[in-house]
Amino acid sequence: MTEGNSSIFHLAIFLVLILKLRAQFPDGNEVFSNRSKANYTDVPKDISLKTTILDASQNCFSQLQASDFSSLSKLRILILSHNKIQSLDTSIFKFNLELEYLDLSHNQLWMISCNPTVNFRHLDLSFNDFDVLPICNEFGNMSELSFLGLSATRLQKSPVQLIAHLNISKVLLVLGELYGQHEDSESLQDLNTKSLHIVFPPHKAFHFVLDVAASSAVNLELSNIKCVQNEDEQYFFSVLLKLQRNPRLLNLTINNINTTWNSFIRILQLVWHTSIEYFSITNVELKGQVDQREFHYSDTSLKALSVHQVVSHAFYLQQDYIYSIFSNMNIQSLRVTGTRMVHVVCPLRVSPFVYLNFSNNLLTDATFENCGTLTKLEILILELNQLKELAKIVHMTKDMKSLRKLDISRNSLGYETGINCSWTKSLLILNMSSNILTDSVFRCLPPKVTVLDLHNNRIKSIPKDATSLDALEELNVAFNSLTDLPGCGRLSSLSVLIITNNAISQPSAKFFSSCQRMRSVKAGNNPFQCSCELRDFIKGISHMSSDVVEDWPESYKCDYPESYKETALQDFHMSELACNTTLLIVTIGISMLVLAALVTFVCVCFDLPWYLRMVCQWTQTRYRARNIPLEELQRNVQFHAFISYSGHDSAWVKNELLPNLEREGLRICLHERDFVAGKSIVENIINCTEQSYKSIFVLSPNFVQSEWCHYELYFAHHKLFHEGSHNLILILLESIPQYTIPSNYHKLKTLMARKTYLEWPKEKSKHGLFWANLRAAISIKLTEQKKEIV
Ligand SMILES: *[C@@H]1O[C@H](CO)[C@@H](O)[C@H](O)[C@H]1NC(C)=O
Ligand SMILES: *[C@@H]1O[C@H](CO)[C@@H](O)[C@H](O)[C@H]1NC(C)=O
Ligand SMILES: *[C@@H]1O[C@H](CO)[C@@H](O)[C@H](O)[C@H]1NC(C)=O
Ligand SMILES: *[C@@H]1O[C@H](CO)[C@@H](O)[C@H](O)[C@H]1NC(C)=O
Ligand SMILES: *[C@@H]1O[C@H](CO)[C@@H](O)[C@H](O)[C@H]1NC(C)=O
Ligand SMILES: *[C@@H]1O[C@H](CO)[C@@H](O)[C@H](O)[C@H]1NC(C)=O
Ligand SMILES: *[C@@H]1O[C@H](CO)[C@@H](O)[C@H](O)[C@H]1NC(C)=O
Ligand SMILES: *[C@@H]1O[C@H](CO)[C@@H](O)[C@H](O)[C@H]1NC(C)=O
Ligand SMILES: *[C@@H]1O[C@H](CO)[C@@H](O)[C@H](O)[C@H]1NC(C)=O
């Protein structure tokens, strides 16, 4: 093949595949319209034209029109059950070429005409009021028919022959209340169906001779058998006897049967000798006595018997006889459920039972006591009975050498520690759910168990000395009171764990490291306590694949603390800092260090304390200025400030201080410039200070040495300075070491100690603030005062 050819070949295969797929799913998008239970009396007109499935059941239609469905050309499935339709003409579907499924059951149909026919796959005309079988000639052409539901009060051979050549999967035949008068017992002989279900009239005694064994039927189901009188019983037995004539029959199901105990045993005996392999009898009502006749087990095809829902109205019953009939049956599978049976006896000989299901009865711990004949039994179901002591159940199984699965769920089982607990070694699947078992059950488990269901018990923890469960793969401990997830140390094969609805508040995250084989975990609906400890668990669980954690995140919610209640675990976050004490301490330490370093840096580089002091003084000045009464200011002052200083500092005063103050229009009294000759220096000072609003002293070591003595006297007797020193401004030009201040200068020492001076900053950048501060101290109120004085 050349390369071109081969690619064409591949393309062709691809196209064929696509066509095949499209053929399998003719319409990927079904359009479904549900108009059920809407009280319609006519078919609604607003149904989408694209509708392929229409459910209009449980309405009030009484008639169908040709126009009702003609526009729904895509319609495939039409459900019209539970209406009041009386007649049907299939011609109304002549435009519904796709229609293949029509359900008209539970109507009041009594007439049908079929012209032309529709090729139905599923046609249900059961539970209607037809007198004769509603089979038209045209039905013979419904080659695809697989289900046909019929109803009639009279059966005849001829209509059945019309469809005898079709291969129908299932025929449902509902016989009306009036059935039975003119019977043709052979009428169903030609029916060609795999399964036949006949529903007899529910309230009528069984007086029928109908041969129900259609020759092709494999499955036969009979509903509503009422034979309580001796006469009816004979009718029914003769019907059953005829089953022997159809060797193809495998399954027989009888529903809703009302009869006597004797007839019931007789029915079993009759079926025993047919070709039937699976016999199921459901909803049985029994009365009367039972005569102890021998039951002939030999020569049977039966494999499985199922008896479900039995109500017995017998006052006195030879129960042992009935129990022994069941337990000695030579079949593989027996199911007797929902019967209020209190006991089963041990089979006399080695029994072929492989499957026994006795669920929903009243069996006690004495069941199969010391029974060594159930050696082939693989599955035993004792669900929903009256079992109480687990140790007795363990003992019961000890000779069941093939037992693989035991279901003792929904009983009242408890287990007391210390009792020898040796299960049959073959047991693999054990269901002990919904009992009252406690932690101790873990000391009494089959060693090879792979599936263990213990949900809905009273387990608080898995004890340390539990049986080792190396084979356990699936464990269900939901609805108990466990407080933590089990580690997989002793459960080395565990791959499925269900532990929902327990009391787990702070699951340990160890689970994720120890349980590497997990395929499925469900741990939701637990009262999770959302705190730091839970973070590892949340991390662990959210890192697992969503196929593994099946109920994440919706079933995982915080229960505590109150502020997080109902918050999804997925949305619960706590910072590393809030949870790690060491980290918290380290962080706080580092922050403090950084802060300290910052403060030191600011102090060193920008002289923060100096600024703070300046700002503080500024504020105090403004505050004081506001509080000084006006009269005080109205004293006769000529100068804003009087400045005294040492001759050594005169350069600074003249070059810095004076220009900066006088530039703003402030008037300054200088003792060199403005002193009146002839007066003593002290007199001059006093004069000058009295005419000035503020007194400024420029302090430096020189000033202290040379000038202060002049002022000591002044300070000593001038009362203004005793009352408060707020008219006094000290400028510290150079720092004055304490020791240079002579010891008798008390006032200077006090003033220096109070630190109420302005410090002349060395850095040029700070000078602006210094001057502003100083000017504020001497000027603000004075401008006001000047107005008043001048
Ligand atoms: C249509 O809806 C009804 C309830 O209104 C429901 O019982 C019925 O099953 C639905 N039909 C189908 C085909 O789903
Ligand atoms: C149909 O009618 C019944 C009784 O008249 C009424 O209870 C019911 O709600 C109605 N249903 C609808 C869907 O209208
Ligand atoms: C069945 O179909 C065949 C051909 O397809 C036709 O000849 C015959 O008349 C049809 N029978 C009925 C009863 O419609
Ligand atoms: C029914 O099945 C038989 C045998 O399997 C076959 O010969 C016959 O053609 C089938 N009839 C129809 C209508 O399919
Ligand atoms: C008969 O019944 C059994 C059990 O219900 C079922 O497994 C089997 O498929 C049925 N046989 C047929 C042929 O339908
Ligand atoms: C069964 O038959 C008895 C006696 O005829 C009758 O009392 C009882 O109601 C019947 N039960 C059923 C479910 O038909
Ligand atoms: C046992 O029988 C009950 C009642 O018929 C049924 O629901 C249940 O599934 C059966 N159990 C098993 C394991 O077959
Ligand atoms: C155990 O029995 C209960 C019912 O009693 C059932 O719901 C559950 O699925 C069973 N467990 C297993 C593992 O089969
Ligand atoms: C328990 O019983 C089994 C046999 O029933 C026996 O082999 C085993 O030694 C017993 N164990 C104890 C501790 O009694």
Nearest CA to ligand 3 atom 3: 141
- Whole-number Å distance, alpha carbon 401 to ligand 7 midpoint, is 22
**Least confident interval from 56-60, 137-141, 740-744:** 740-744
Token pair in block for residue 268:
């079993």
Could you say which ligand is closest to the alpha carbon of residue 420?
A: 9
* pLDDT score at 712: 62
498-506's contacts with Cβ under 8 Å and 24+ in sequence apart are 498/455, 498/522, 499/523, 499/526, 500/524, 500/525, 500/526, 500/551, 500/555, 501/525, 501/526, 502/477, 502/478, 502/526, 503/527, 504/528, 505/529, 505/559, 505/560, 506/531, 506/533, 506/534, 506/537
Compute, in angstroms, the gap from residue 420 CA to the centroid of ligand 9.
6
Averaged pLDDT for residues 133-138: 90
Distance 39 CA to ligand 2 centre (A): 6
* pLDDT at position 236: 93
**Hey, where are the domains in the chain?**
579-606, 609-778
Measured CA to CA, the distance from residue 665 to residue 658 in angstroms comes to: 11
What is the distance, to the nearest Å, from the Cα of residue 175 to the centroid of all Cα atoms in its chain? 50
Gap from CA of 182 to ligand 2 centroid (Å): 42
Residue 694 region, left (φ>0) first, then alpha (ψ -120 to 50), else beta? Answer: beta
**What pLDDT shows up at residue 453?**
97
Q: Is the pLDDT of residue 789 over 60?
A: no
pLDDT above 80 (res 35): yes
- pLDDT tens per residue across span 694-712: 778 888 888 887 776 666 6
Positions of E strands within 44-187: 53-55, 77-79, 87-89, 101-103, 111-113, 122-124, 147-152, 168-175
- In the chain, the percentage of residues whose pLDDT exceeds 70 is 88
Q: Give the mutation target among 197, 250, 254 for probing the ligand 5 site: most ligand atoms within 8 A of CB.
A: 250
The residue-averaged pLDDT of 320-346 equals: 94
Q: Measured between alpha carbons, how far is 416 from 389 in angstroms, rounded to an integer?
A: 8
Contact 716, 722 (CB under 8 A): no
250-263 residue pLDDT tens: 999 999 999 999 99
Top-level class of domain 609-778: alpha beta
Q: Is the pLDDT of residue 677 over 80?
A: no
Q: What is the pLDDT, as a whole number, of residue 787?
A: 39
Nearest CA to ligand 2 atom 1: 39
- Ligand 6 pocket, CB under 6 A: 228, 258, 285
The model's pLDDT over 643-662, given as tens digits with 9 standing for 90+, comes to: 878 888 888 888 888 888 88
What is the chain's mean pLDDT, rounded?
85
Tell me which residue has its CA closest to atom 7 in ligand 7.
359
Residues in Cβ contact with 413 at an 8 Å cutoff, skipping those fewer than 6 apart: 387, 388, 389, 390, 393, 432, 435, 436, 437
What residues are paired with 380 via a beta bridge?
356, 406
Q: Of 5-9, 274-278, 685-689, which range is least confident?
A: 5-9
Residue nearest ligand 1's atom 7 by CA: 36
Please tell me the distance between residue 40's alpha carbon and the centre of ligand 1 in angstroms: 15
Mean pLDDT of 378-382: 97
Nearest CA, atom 4, ligand 8: 409
Using CA positions, which residue lies closest to atom 13 of ligand 4? 166
> Residue 136 Cα, ligand 3 centroid: separation in angstroms?
12
Task: Give which of 231, 275, 224, 268 is closest to 249, Cα–Cα.
Answer: 275
